[in-house]
Amino acid sequence: MTYRGDIRLGETLDVKFTTRRFSTGAPFTLAGTPAISAYVGNGTTEITAGITLTVDFDARTGLNNVRVVASGANGFATATNVQLVITAGTVDSVSVVGEVVAEFSIENRSALMPATAGSTLAVASGRANADVTHIATAAVSASAAQLGVNVVQAGATAWGSGAITAGSIATGAITSAKFAAGAIDAAAIADDAITDAKVASDVTIASVTGAVGSVTGTLGSLAPQAKADVQAEAEKALRTYHLDHLIESADPGSIVANSSLWAALTSKSATPAYSSYVNTTDSLEAQRDNVGTAGAGLTAIDLPDQTMNITGSLSGSVGSVTGSVGGNVTGSIGSLATQAKADVNAEMLNVVNVVALIDGKTIVQSLIYIGASATGRVSGAGTGTEVFKGLDESTTRLTITVDSSGNRTDIVYG
């Protein structure tokens, strides 16, 4: 048995071992449907997933290769010791079940392991060359201009409050020239890195030169001068765009520009002009007076010729209507236009000649048969077949079959 070292979870390991003939000690083929299983520690669970056995590897008798894909998906885990054991197989008809062929561990031996499998530590002149990315789990940023390190402890002693003060930093030790362009940006400052508790209560910012991007929090309050400044600027903006004339100031004239929204609300011209607005006739109050309370001012409307749809009801007389009337007319109609008369006539003819209203017969057909049976000429009486002529005395309208009692047993309509 050989120990193959401490590997990382997910690595693929190849192990070779030789099976020999017991009588001679010479290499001999592992037979009998051989199988290799993995035992973890003191457990009895056999892992077979991810394990591939190749006997007589490379056509070498007795040389065997075991490939192990030691992944979590195959049942392997970190901080474990693993033994590879023959769980089925014979050598020269002798069982070799229980033979341990190799052992390895998964992240259970090495105190220091690379984050990337296969990586090595470069050592030159007795010194290790390393790129530091974290200190005490805190990320470190590094560039040609700076090395930013989150120092947790110095000399194994935690830094207490007041370890770094203004007096411990020499004058001019920290200047804008000491920082590369872009060395401190939003990404370099953690959330809540600067809070009220970290800024003295008496700190006053005299002025800000430059733009303030945005304020996403709340402003406690504005100083009296700041309030006055904001109000003055707001009033100035209102006066600049003449919005003060909406309520406070009288219209001096020529303020509303043509084609502006306000002009469009007050003028029907192709190019809206506020100058055409006359408040005595065009104002809402003037329009209300014209309409009257509840439409009382609309009792007498003289409309010129119009093309419109009226969905409500009209009471009174209507001079004429060109077009369709969808609803009912309860009053009298003076006269019908030529087309209207033709339409009525066509509908009447359709009803009496086409529509089968009486037992599958039209009104005209029914009258023809009634006239023939009541007043038409009859032939064949007493023969069992009676023929009735129409009112023209020549056209056969009914052929009736009767029995000996005179009962009608069949009728043919002509």
The CATH number of whichever domain residue 42 belongs to comes to 2.60.40
Contacts 24+ apart (CB under 8 A), 17-24: 17/64, 17/66, 17/101, 17/102, 18/62, 18/63, 18/64, 19/62, 19/64, 19/91, 19/96, 20/62, 20/91, 21/91, 21/92, 22/91, 22/92, 22/94, 23/92
Q: Is the pLDDT of residue 156 over 60?
A: no
Residue 198 covered by a domain:
no
Q: Is the pLDDT of residue 149 over 50?
A: no
Final residue belonging to a domain, choices 106, 139, 166: 106
Task: Determine the 3-state secondary structure of 235 from DSSP.
Answer: helix
Residue 251 covered by a domain:
no
Final residue belonging to a domain, choices 74, 106, 138: 106
Question: pTM here?
Answer: 0.35
Q: Which residues of 8-18 are buried (b: 16+ CB within 10 A; e: fewer)?
A: beebebebebe
Residue 328 covered by a domain:
no
Higher pLDDT, residue 140 or 44: 44
Query: What mean pLDDT is reported for the chain?
Result: 81
pLDDT of residue 153: 47
Q: How many domains does the chain have?
A: 3
338-351 pLDDT, tens digit per residue, is 887 888 888 888 88
> Beta strands 100-106 and 80-91: pairing type?
antiparallel
Residue 389 covered by a domain:
yes
Helices (H) and strands (E) in the chain, counts: 6, 21
Residues 368, 284 share a domain: no
Least confident of 66-75, 77-86, 129-138: 129-138
Residue 185 covered by a domain:
no
Alpha helix locations (H) across 73-125?
Answer: none
Residues 95, 12 share a domain: yes
Residue 148 covered by a domain:
no
pLDDT of residue 150: 43
Residue 121 covered by a domain:
no
What residue numbers bound the domain in which 405 lies? 363-413
Separation of alpha carbons 14 and 102, rounded Å: 10
104, 87, 105: which is closest to 96 by C-alpha?
A: 87
Separation of alpha carbons 106 and 88, rounded Å: 25
pLDDT of residue 80: 97
Residue 295 covered by a domain:
no
Q: pLDDT grade, residue 81 (50/70/90)? A: very high
Q: pLDDT grade, residue 189 (50/70/90)? A: confident
Residues 286, 381 share a domain: no
Report which secondary-structure segment, H or E, holds 291.
Answer: helix 284-291
Q: Over range 134-145, report the average pLDDT.
A: 57
| Best mean pLDDT range from 36-50, 268-282, 311-325 | 36-50
Final residue belonging to a domain, choices 54, 88, 106: 106
